[in-house]
Copies of this chain bind each other. A is one copy, B any other.
Amino acid sequence: MTAACASLTADCINPFVTSTVTVFRTMAGCELRCGKPYLVGETKGAHEISGVIGLSGKALGTVVLSLGGPVALRVTEAMLHELPAKIDSDVVDAVGELTNMIAGSAKAQLEHLQMSLSLPNVIVGHDHQIAFPGDVTPIGVPFDCSWGPVCVQFGLSEKGN
């Protein structure tokens, strides 16, 4: 990993924080409290449900939005006006849509990187871990809300690295 890569990811903290806060407020009426950004280590497990989306352009990257189960259910209720009893396809679609919107909003603020989004995948599983490539230094930002924990992790690499 080059210093430029680490700096590239670090430069994106603010766009990802503001995107996440705005998307949760707009889509789910949910006010997130932002914790301290951290370097993503190997052992950090994700929450129960995670959306993953890729970015490519002048930089390559991925964004992971990870939610505790209760947050995912309440966010889906806020978006669809019905509380799902468990993590079902509506919840999966809602998490995918939030992931897509957060990445889309962040990339709009990182216009100089001319990135476009891929499609979101959503991972469900109590003990899943999501690793980034060894040559990027992903950064995570923890959030908290009245429904439980939320986390956004992202890593970017200059093209060709």
Q: Which residues of A contact B (CB under 8 A)?
A: 42, 52-57, 60-62, 64, 89, 92-93, 96, 116-134, 136, 155, 157
Number of copies: 2
Q: Which of B118, B124, B131 contacts A122 (CB 8 A)?
A: B131
Where chain A touches its partner, the secondary structure class is strand
A118 close to B54 (CB less than 8 A): yes
- In the bound complex, CA of A64 to CA of B113 (Å): 25
- In the bound complex, CA of A128 to CA of B126 (Å): 8
Known A53-B54, A54-B56: A136·B124 in contact at CB below 8 Å: no
Q: Which of B52, B116, B120, B125 contacts A129 (CB 8 A)?
A: B125
Q: Which of B56, B64, B92 contacts A117 (CB 8 A)?
A: B56
- In the bound complex, CA of A121 to CA of B161 (Å): 16
